[in-house]
Amino acid sequence: VDTNNSQDVGNAQAQGGLMAEVIYGENALEALDCCRERTAAVTMPVPWETFEQRSRWRPSHVAYVSSMDLASVEALEQNLPPADVVIGVGGGSACDMAKYVAWKRNIPLILVPTVLSVDAAFTPTIAVRERSIVRYVGNITPERILIDYRLIQSAPPELNRAGAADIASIQTALHDWKLAATHSDERFDSSIAAQAQRCLEQLYDAAEDIYHVTPAGIRALAELFQEEVRLCAEHGNSRPEEGSEHIVAYAIEHYTKRHFIHGDLVGFGIYAMAMLQENNLDYAVSLMKRCGIRYTLPSVERKTLESILLNLVQFKRDANLFFSVLDVKPPTPEWVQYCLDSLPA
């Protein structure tokens, strides 16, 4: 790869010790100019339009992702012409679709995230949906991840801020992990937990840049995603980053059958579960405000949130999810009222 002065190269460690080369810069897209093989881009209309304005490079074929339902994912891959390289351009779905094609065909993968609203560009697993339930398949490391600051800055800022929720969730996740180790035979790894805690502190330090989506903020968030993915891979599951705040997020999706920005759901989950855990709610709120993570879910009616919070234990049991504060301290009707009353309007 030809890197000029405005670019910088880092390494993303994925599962199995394989490394993706991460190229950061104002013109990181220039790294695509060396792609001379048969190339297939997997994208969506809005990010592709932005990409075309920012780059002269054009692939041999462009495929648009419509749905991450497993049947649609398989159909897109089967209808895609032969390619030597697949390039994912867009948000989580485009990255996951490109990962699927590269994994299925065993061909090199380049990812060009156009927004950092989720960590999909950095995780080796591929999120697909079956009957609207998330399922993870595959295991793939991209050759390169291009983090083009100007491309990412052209996405709505609130989407980039929402990505920080999957780092902020470490606060409630670590608390649940400790509870699980105390009340069950689950293993607690204090070294991994300490490294995850350090990610939370780094997020706090980078919050202002993340809020303003500056190059430093974009790079900090991308590096925190890589570190979080590395810690989860080293531990063998998502314990260091996923706790009861994600159970809340999954429950809201399940009961409302609506699509949300993941970070908005996780933000609400962090708020409610930090309160239930009695785990420094002030810090959680301050961190979310500084990063611009939304946590009040104004688009969901209060009575819907009430019944979701009251049914969390049942939901967790039915979905067979991990041990958390919900097993130790199930939400009572009084607590639910107190929690929702305390949310800022």
Q: Among 40, 79, 83, which Cα is nearest to 58's?
A: 40
Q: State which residue, 57 or 260, has the beta carbon closest to Zn ion.
A: 260
Tokens of 59: 């692939």
Q: Among 1, 18, 10, which Cα is nearest to 222's?
A: 10
> Least separation, in Å, of the C-beta of 222 and Zn ion?
16
DSSP 296: S
Positive/negative CA dihedral, 145, 149, 152, 157:
positive
Q: State which residue, 29 or 231, has the beta carbon closest to Zn ion.
A: 231
Q: State which residue, 77 or 166, has the beta carbon closest to Zn ion.
A: 166
Q: What are phi and psi of 280, to 5 degrees?
A: 50, 60
> Least separation, in Å, of the C-beta of 51 and Zn ion?
25
AA identity, residue 148: D
Q: State which residue, 47 or 92, has the beta carbon closest to Zn ion.
A: 92
Q: State which residue, 217 or 263, has the beta carbon closest to Zn ion.
A: 263
Positive/negative CA dihedral, 337, 341, 342, 345:
positive
Q: State which residue, 166 or 223, has the beta carbon closest to Zn ion.
A: 166
> Least separation, in Å, of the C-beta of 249 and Zn ion?
7
What residue ranges bind Zn ion (CB under 5 A)?
166
> In DSSP terms, which residues pair with 137 in a beta bridge?
126
Give CA angle at 134 (223, 74), nearest 5°. Answer: 100
Q: How far is CA 55 from the centre of its chain?
A: 25
Q: State which residue, 269 or 331, has the beta carbon closest to Zn ion.
A: 269
AA identity, residue 211: Y
> Least separation, in Å, of the C-beta of 133 and Zn ion?
15
Neighbours of 282 (CB within 10 A): 8
Shortest-Cβ-distance residue relative to Zn ion? 166
Q: State which residue, 36 or 259, has the beta carbon closest to Zn ion.
A: 259
> Least separation, in Å, of the C-beta of 28 and Zn ion?
25
> Least separation, in Å, of the C-beta of 242 and Zn ion?
6
User: What is each CA distance from 260 to 173, 250, 263, 268, in whole angstroms?
Assistant: 21, 11, 8, 12
> Least separation, in Å, of the C-beta of 241 and Zn ion?
7
User: Does residue 160 contact residue 232 with C-beta atoms inside 8 Å?
Assistant: no
User: Does residue 117 contact residue 152 with C-beta atoms inside 8 Å?
Assistant: no
- The alpha carbon torsion through 135, 141, 147, 153 (nearest 10 deg) reads 0
Q: State which residue, 119 or 223, has the beta carbon closest to Zn ion.
A: 119
> Least separation, in Å, of the C-beta of 61 and Zn ion?
31
User: Does residue 199 contact residue 170 with C-beta atoms inside 8 Å?
Assistant: yes
Tokens of 91: 């948000």
> Least separation, in Å, of the C-beta of 330 and Zn ion?
23
